[in-house]
Amino acid sequence: MLSALWSVDEMLAPIERAIRTDRVTALAAALARLDEAGAFDDPALFASPLPHRYARRPIACDPLGRFVVLAMSWAPAQSSPLHDHAGLWGAEIVVAGTMREKTFRLIERDGRDRYRFSPERERVAAKGEVGIVIPPLEYHEFGNAGDTPARTVHVYAGDLRRCRSYVAGEDGAWRARVAELPADA
Ligand SMILES: [Fe+2]
């Protein structure tokens, strides 16, 4: 059953309460409860994946800049590059399909702006599972692990408009580039 009765304000109230606690576990629990109640079932919340990348659509930006809620949709095999979250904490829930997350630990950044990461862990998350981001543990790759479209909802404790993504070089070091995050219609 679609969540036609859920307004964005109804969805935001428990998210805002969780953000105010300043606890990522409270945010993760709030997202799990919302998903279970069908708050993220409305397909209109999500943009369609583009041919060349996943889609990202802001659901809400707190006017006080305390948090942002983002809807993302992923075609099979689509994935993000390795990226950070601009130093913000947050939580990400799978609301349809299955996703793979590979987390990395930043080992060093040298004077020539080269980064070294060590792979940390890899997990596959199904509907209702929540991942958390707590800087400095904020580096990951995130992508569709299945052969059907996937949808995720992300909440970050700030106004996340840009982050850094990282490209692996042949020397084993990674280079950062600032990624302006799109808002897809
Ligand atoms: Fe992420």
Is residue 104 one of the residues assigned to a domain?
yes
pLDDT confidence tier of residue 29, bands split at 50, 70 and 90: very high
What is this structure's pTM? 0.94
Return mean pLDDT, the chain.
94
In sequence order, what E strands does 18-173 have? 55-61, 68-74, 82-83, 90-96, 99-109, 114-125, 130-133, 139-144, 150-156, 162-168
92 CA from centroid of ligand 1 (Å) = 8
* Amino acid identity for residue 123 in this structure: R
Query: Where would I find the H helices in the chain?
Result: 8-21, 24-36
Nearest CA among 157, 162, 107 for reference residue 132:
157
Token pair 């994935």 is at which residue?
A: 79
Is residue 115 one of the residues assigned to a domain?
yes
Comparing 170 with 155, which gets the higher pLDDT?
Answer: 155
40 CA from centroid of ligand 1 (Å) = 18
Is residue 88 one of the residues assigned to a domain?
yes
Is residue 137 one of the residues assigned to a domain?
yes
42 CA from centroid of ligand 1 (Å) = 22
116 CA from centroid of ligand 1 (Å) = 18
138 CA from centroid of ligand 1 (Å) = 8
Is residue 1 one of the residues assigned to a domain?
no
pLDDT of residue 4: 60
**Residue 12's domain spans which residues?**
8-180
Is residue 185 one of the residues assigned to a domain?
no
Nearest CA among 137, 123, 11, 128 for reference residue 62:
11
Is residue 12 one of the residues assigned to a domain?
yes
* DSSP 8-state class, residue 44: G
How many domains does the structure of the chain reveal? 1
171 CA from centroid of ligand 1 (Å) = 25
Question: In this predicted model, what pLDDT tens digit does every residue of 49-89 receive, in sequence order?
Answer: 999 999 999 999 999 999 999 999 999 999 999 999 999 99
Which residues pair with residue 173 across a beta bridge? none
* Amino acid identity for residue 41 in this structure: D
Is residue 3 one of the residues assigned to a domain?
no
Comparing 27 with 159, which gets the higher pLDDT?
Answer: 27
pLDDT confidence tier of residue 3, bands split at 50, 70 and 90: very low
Kindly report the CATH number assigned to the domain that includes residue 136.
2.60.120.10
- Could you tell me what percent of the chain has a pLDDT over 90? 86
96 CA from centroid of ligand 1 (Å) = 17
- Could you tell me what percent of the chain has a pLDDT over 70? 98
